[in-house]
Structure 1
């Protein structure tokens, strides 16, 4: 019943838009701060998370710490680019309401990654609000560019595929 309410209620669409704009602004600010500074380096954060995977009550689970040690740290230069630009683009997507579901999914993925790395900050709050947007689906982007873009993409896909197997569902 609550999910139906999130997906269908026109007044909830306004609330989801406000949440979308708020989260978009948070992501945009975070990403732009890192981009404009020009000195973003994720290695300190990654090394700190790796250190927090030991002890009696580790803040970072060993499986995640091993991922950070074996994948993220060796490719930190790549992460130094994709983290700030990912944050910025998620924010831009949410503010404009374009590729909203994908944008919020990527934002939630980053929130989970930060929390798995042992940080809390605003991540739980952003996760909760982001889940409402994700579950709200179409209702979350009715007041954004997706309102016009998604029907065009569906038409384009149907034209390319040559069938009506793809359709926009509520």
Structure 2
């Protein structure tokens, strides 16, 4: 019942649009701050995550340490580009409501990467709010670019035509 409300109610889509814009603004500001400074370096954050992997109750789990040591740290220059631009592009997608589900999915992936690395900050809040956007499907983008292009796209993808008196989906 609640999920149907999130997915189909036009009044709820207004609330979801406000939520989507808030999340988008948060991501844009985080990404743009890193891009504009031109001095973002994930090395310290990654080393801090490794430091949080020790002790009796480590904040960073061993499997994530393996990822950090074998993928992230050796390729820190790639992550120095991916992180700020990923945050910025997720934010733009959410702000304008374009490919909303895709944007929120990648936002969640980044939030969980930060959480796995032992930091909390605003990440739990962003994860919780993002789940509403993700579950709401197309309704979160109704008042955005998705609301303008998806009906046309759906119409073109699922157009039917009659062949020998029978309807057939046009591919």
Query: Matched residues in 1 for 2:36 and 2:152: separation?
Result: 34
Query: Matched residues in 2 for 1:155 and 1:140: separation?
Result: 19
Alignment check: 8 A CA contact 2:32 2:88 kept: yes
| Structure whose alpha-carbon radius of gyration is higher | 2
The C-alpha deviation readout for 1:86-123, integer Å capped at 9, x for no partner, is 00000000000001000000001101110010000000
Return 5+ residue gaps in structure 2 as ranges: 160-167
Change (3 A) 1:135 1:80: same
* Higher share in strand: 2
- Report SS of the residue matched to 2:143: coil
Matched, 1:45 2:50: no
- Report SS of the residue matched to 2:74: coil
Number of aligned residues: 163
Q: How far has the Cα of 1:155 moved from its partner? A: 5.0
Return 5+ residue gaps in structure 1 as ranges: none
Q: How far has the Cα of 1:66 moved from its partner? A: 1.1
TM-score of the aligned structures, taking structure 1 as reference length = 0.91
Query: Matched residues in 2 for 1:10 and 1:154: separation?
Result: 19
Change (3 A) 1:100 1:165: farther
| RMSD value, Cα | 1.6
Query: Matched residues in 2 for 1:67 and 1:9: separation?
Result: 41
Q: How far has the Cα of 1:150 moved from its partner? A: 2.2
- Report SS of the residue matched to 2:60: coil
Query: Matched residues in 2 for 1:12 and 1:152: separation?
Result: 22
The C-alpha deviation readout for 1:33-71, integer Å capped at 9, x for no partner, is 000000000011011101111110000001001101110
Q: How far has the Cα of 1:14 moved from its partner? A: 0.6
- Partner of 1:27 in structure 2? 27
Alignment check: 8 A CA contact 2:157 2:170 kept: no
Matched, 1:147 2:147: yes
Query: Matched residues in 1 for 2:153 and 2:74: separation?
Result: 38
TM-score of the aligned structures, taking structure 2 as reference length = 0.90
